[in-house]
A and B are shown apart, each in its own frame.
Chain A
């Protein structure tokens, strides 16, 4: 749908504007000595919150089709779209993992290995038929891990399914392949688990180079004990071996992967009864405030204020009177004593009450959909039903829960992504499980969206919701799904899948005000009925965005420079290289020193009005000179620039970023 063409005049104006912009850009680039004068005082980059997106939104009303749906794209370039190999057509493509120049794409029918060396022409290296849902994939070294959850998965990879409830032929858990010969993956081992593996996460322990760990998450019902001994679906207070309240951790010895086995089943959920932390809506908070003002008893229960009702207050006071061997009405002193002990008495009472409960009550979440491990900051984000969990994973075999949030919009947490610094975590709400149309005009913005939290002293603090907001049809399954960070230095930018809502790129550097900066969308597979399709996962990998399209195959995109992201920022992004990437095991990005990196930071200082334009342009000119020189003169120019910047640091609004630039310049001088 090319709506701009309905207004040829605006199109022409735009062309002119663009020519001017391009000319200015050329001048700025070609000239080594001068910076155009109009740039010297006024910033030409606009704050991203002030920029406009295409309007009306061209994602609305796209024509349907499987391989010929109408498409729209903004600030991205689609480099290729390649249909799945024939055996995989009609099945669902799922998650992605990457190693070297290969993309591993899971499918309900098995997995496909693509050579993406040429992103305009990815080639199938292997299509391995081995049905199991969801076949989420991870790679490490010469090993490929594949999740199996559905009931039809077979140990022998057969396509005939399994027709009985208890069967020795069924695989639910993790399949392990040796991919040392990439063209001939060898199926070497299975680890069966009680709920199967919906997804999994590979944890590479920085302190252990002999093993990797696989955290298994399962969300389907527990399999019968007759099929896999030890699987018990009773609740833990009935049977301590219950499989309901745990994730499973598989230890994989790299020298002998066929010996991989479950080493622990940490019960990261037990005793979890945290009420919604950010669930306190302003009006609810007002109620609490009023209660405190009125002198009512408000207990702090697990970090959340709870107004204690009068009956309970009387009961606590009576207890206090009894403890001092008194009788009659409680005194003012008793009341003061209660205020001091309230949190403790209330918590005690709650625990007693909870302990007295049988099954079905206060069970806490009993499964995680997905766990994102971020070993470099020692944290994991668990997306576990109604809870977002923050886990300490400094001991990889024994994750410990340090915080939990529930959401007042009743989110069903699906996955987590951290920003690069590990100071912000984003949870996705896969409302409806991904097969339903949750982006219609009538679906609330907060539902099926991302919820963004900052991490402050080990606690998660709610900041905002973010959802792809172009209304989709009722034949398009659409909800927040998988994505990854883009290594744009100094900014938190993520690319994300929204099933048939397409993909988008957004900036949440300001976690309270996320801004969409690019997108691609297709029309529905069908106008008449909902066929499950769209983007399951899209991730950044070594300069490109690789999209696993459920029904249509593999798309590869690149981000284009725009008002939202400069070419320098993209160039700096593309200096980051990964040898492999599993999105559930988040790597920390590190940027090598480069001129692009320094320029990217300068662009950000300009965009955010953090530094005087004349100073910025002086540094830019200096960078051009330094880049054009070599040896000791380059070194001294760079050090001189670093010195100048240091002098400026105090007078800017972002001394931290200025100091980062000086760091880059010094590194360049050394290098």
Chain B
């Protein structure tokens, strides 16, 4: 600690020297900041900060009370919709997809994996049943994690929640997959198996065709959400839905170009 203070003084000395010579980089300068804060010209004191922090967490809780059934349905359905995109995308490396399709598939997996986690968090934060997806090869199984009584709100003063513990203490319900067949853009199991049987260029072509269809479906789901009174007013839901919309419209476009290239256009 002593020498760190000394270091700061040295820095000031060197800085004052209008030097063109080396200045040792010093990431300890955050230390200086703390001194600033302690000087407390403007920064609220620690008491104020902890009051503000309390306000912050309670406002976050409050902001999560403003949602509609349409928002819940959107999240619940989109988790399963995304899960199917993961199944399709995971085929790319083993089915010898071209480099660009593999890159695209990897990006879809990364994006939709994170979005699934985000949508699960959205539902859990609002005390709603959460679809937990299990992928076994080409098969998708969905279990519903039921909310605990205490889950709803309140005890999570800081909204802290261990994702790793998501299964603990929840009732799991097996979910009937046939319910999701009416979602736009969902592929049939036959289509998925067909895709899985293809290789290389043939795989690329059908991957792109199917994924464009699948993405089109997601875009329609977002537009449907926006056409319901009061839906997507919740900031997190609005951001999520808008981001999915923007991202998938972008990808549809790129996939169409890739398809053109494959088809010799």
Q: Which residues of A contact B (CB under 8 A)?
A: 2, 4-5, 8, 11-12, 14-15, 17-19, 21-22, 24-26, 28-29, 44-46, 53-54, 58, 66-68, 71-83, 86, 89-92, 108, 120-123, 133, 150-152, 161-165, 219-221, 224, 233, 273, 275-276, 279, 281, 283, 306, 308-309, 311-312, 350, 353, 360-367, 369, 385-386, 406, 408-410, 412, 431-433, 435-438, 443-444, 447, 520, 526, 528-531, 551, 560-563, 566-568, 571, 599, 603, 606
Contact = CB atoms under 8 A, between A and B. Distances in A.
A311 B263 CA distance: 11
B171 interface: no
Given A122-B42, A367-B246, A566-B20, A73 B27 contact: yes
B66 A362 contact: no
Contact of A362 (B3, B115, B121, B256): B256
B229 interface: yes
Interface in B158-210: 158-163
A44 B22 CA distance: 8
Nearest to A517: B25
A256 B210 CA distance: 53
B55 interface: yes
B233 A163 contact: yes
Contacts of A309: 264
A18 B7 contact: yes
A366 B30 CA distance: 44
Interface stretch (B78-86, B96-104, B129-137): B96-104
B216 interface: yes
A385 B246 contact: yes
Interface centre among B25, B229, B254 (most CB of A within 10 A): B25
Nearest to A301: B265
Given A18-B24, A78-B33, A386 B253 contact: yes
A412 B250 contact: yes
B245 to A, nearest CB: 6
B250 A385 contact: yes
Contacts of B104: 410
Given A29-B17, A133-B235, A306 B261 contact: yes
B79 to A, nearest CB: 15
Nearest to B28: A2
Interface string B30-52: 11110011000111100001101
Contacts of A19: 10, 13
Contacts, number: 306
If over half of A's interface residues share one DSSP class (helix, strand or loop), that class is named, otherwise mixed; here it is loop
B49 A25 contact: no
A73 B19 contact: no
A28 B43 contact: no
A520 B239 CA distance: 27
A530 B36 CA distance: 29
Contact of A25 (B20, B226, B257): B20
B252 interface: yes
Contact of A80 (B14, B36, B50): B36
A567 B15 CA distance: 8
Contacts of B100: 279, 408
26 contacts: A5-B4, A14-B7, A18-B7, A18-B23, A25-B19, A28-B17, A28-B20, A53-B25, A73-B27, A74-B25, A90-B63, A92-B235, A121-B42, A122-B42, A123-B42, A163-B229, A163-B230, A219-B246, A273-B257, A365-B253, A409-B103, A409-B107, A433-B242, A443-B110, A528-B158, A563-B23
Interface string B206-249: 00000010001000001100111110110110111011011101
A89 B58 CA distance: 10
Contacts of B25: 53-54, 74-75, 562-563
A311 B256 CA distance: 20
A339 B264 CA distance: 17
Interface centre among A150, A364, A551 (most CB of B within 10 A): A150
B151 interface: no
B59 A435 contact: no
Contacts of A15: 3, 6-7, 10
B59 A90 contact: yes
A244 B111 CA distance: 24
Given A19-B10, A362-B256, A90 B249 contact: no
Given A90-B63, A120-B36, A29 B239 contact: no
A214 to B, nearest CB: 21
A4 B257 CA distance: 51
B140 interface: no
Contacts of B256: 361-363
Given A150-B238, A152-B233, A435 B118 contact: yes
Contacts of A72: 27, 30
Given A80-B36, A562-B25, A563-B23, A433 B107 contact: no
A32 to B, nearest CB: 13
Interface string B109-123: 011001100100100
B238 A80 contact: no
Contact of B23 (A120, A275, A560): A560
A436 B254 contact: no
Contacts of B62: 90
Query: Which 5 residue pairs are nearest across A and B when measured between Cβ atoms?
Result: A90-B59, A25-B19, A433-B243, A309-B264, A25-B17
A560 B33 CA distance: 14
B29 A165 contact: no
B19 A21 contact: yes
Nearest to A52: B25
Given A362-B260, A433-B242, A438-B114, 20 more contacts: A17-B24, A25-B18, A54-B25, A67-B50, A72-B30, A78-B30, A81-B37, A90-B58, A108-B235, A122-B42, A161-B66, A162-B233, A220-B238, A350-B265, A360-B252, A364-B253, A406-B254, A432-B115, A562-B22, A562-B25
Interface centre among A8, A275, A308 (most CB of B within 10 A): A275
Given A80-B43, A133-B235, A150-B235, A28 B246 contact: no
A365 B242 CA distance: 15
Contacts of A365: 249-250, 253
Contacts of B265: 306, 350, 353
Contacts of B24: 14, 17-18, 21, 563
B254 to A, nearest CB: 5
A529 B36 contact: no
A528 B251 contact: no
Given A83-B49, A90-B56, A151 B22 contact: no
B150 interface: no
Contacts of A133: 235, 238-239
Contact of B21 (A44, A77, A350): A44
